[in-house]
Amino acid sequence: MTIQPIRLFGDPVLRTRADEVVDFDKELRTLVQDLWDTMESQGGAGIAAPQLGVSLRVFTYHCDGSAGHMVNPTWNAIDDECQDGDEGCLSIPGFQWETRRMRNVVASGWNMYGEPIEVQGTDLLARCIQHETDHLDGVLFLDRLDAETRKQAMREIRQASWFDGNVPTIKQDPHALFGGF
Ligand SMILES: [Zn+2]
């Protein structure tokens, strides 16, 4: 069991697009185990490899009675339904802000043995899949907040005890998740 330190907001690895996994080898299985152990130690709903400083497209999840991992995931919305609810991030500890997400999604990817897998999620699991896949693109949930909430969030983060003052540029919605509104 290996619990790794979690990279915090301000660390450039969280703003880097992670690489596709090419080798489904022992290192990948170790990474999945580390992600799992670290996520569970924090009681997190999910965690993505960049949060451990590893720029690879892998995440683990454990929420709504569902648990597992995905390698090279992509997701699609099943319908047009959105959900609004509080969202947090292990890399931005101590905060939650209301974040709009799609409500019903299906994610496709691979497991650590290179076998294709599909995960269908609603509500919290759907939110988790979107949040973790965002991490793999260097996107944080702060980028998904409306402008006013984002400003308030940045003010609060700057005052957080863990924050080291290195404020990176907030990206403006690189993915038109909601069809442009
Ligand atoms: Zn996160």
Whole-model pTM: value is 0.90
Within-domain flag for 152: yes
Edge-to-edge strands of the sheet including 58-63?
Answer: 46-48, 58-63, 66-77, 104-110, 116-122
Alpha-carbon distance of 48 to 65, in angstroms, equals 19
For 59, the enclosing helix (H) or strand (E) is strand 58-63
Give a yes or no: residue 2 inside a domain. no
Please list the helix, strand and coil fractions of the chain in percent, rounded to the nearest 5, in that order.
30, 25, 45
* 11-66 residue pLDDT tens: 999 999 999 999 999 999 999 999 999 999 999 999 999 999 999 999 999 998 99
Residues in the chain: 181
170: in domain: no
Note down the domain range covering 33: 12-158
- Give me the pLDDT at residue 175, please: 45
89 is in an annotated binding site: yes
- Tokens, residue 146: 């409306």
Structural contact between residues 118 and 106, judged by C-beta atoms closer than 8 angstroms? yes
pLDDT at 168: 56
26 in a structural domain: yes
Note whether residue 83 is domain-resident. Answer: yes
Whether 94 and 6 have beta carbons less than 8 Å apart is answered as: no
Task: For residue 180, give the amino acid letter.
Answer: G
* 176 occurs within a structural domain: no
Confidence at 181, pLDDT banded by 50, 70, 90:
very low
Q: Which of 27, 132, 148, 156 is catalytic?
A: 132
Distance from the alpha carbon of residue 151 to the mean position of ligand 1, in angstroms: 19
Grade residue 10 by pLDDT with cuts at 50, 70 and 90.
Answer: very high
Q: What is the CATH number of the domain that holds 148?
A: 3.90.45.10
* Contact by Cβ (8 Å): 55, 89: no
| Residue pLDDT, tens place only, 100-113 | 999 999 999 999 99
How far does the centroid of ligand 1 lie from the alpha carbon of residue 91, in Å? 6
Q: Output the CA 90–ligand 1 centroid distance in Å.
A: 5
- Report whether 82 belongs to an annotated binding site: no
Is there a catalytic annotation at residue 81? Answer: no
Residue 135 known to bind ligand: yes
Q: Mean of the pLDDT values across residues 145-160?
A: 94
- Residue 57: predicted pLDDT: 98
For the cut 70, the answer to whether the pLDDT of residue 167 exceeds it is: no
Total domains in the fold of the chain: 1
pLDDT interval class at 164 (50, 70, 90)? confident
What DSSP string describes 46-79?
EEEGGGGT--BSEEEEEETTEEEEEEEEEEEESS
Whether residue 81 is contained in a domain is answered as yes
The CA 27 to ligand 1 mean position distance, Å, reads: 22
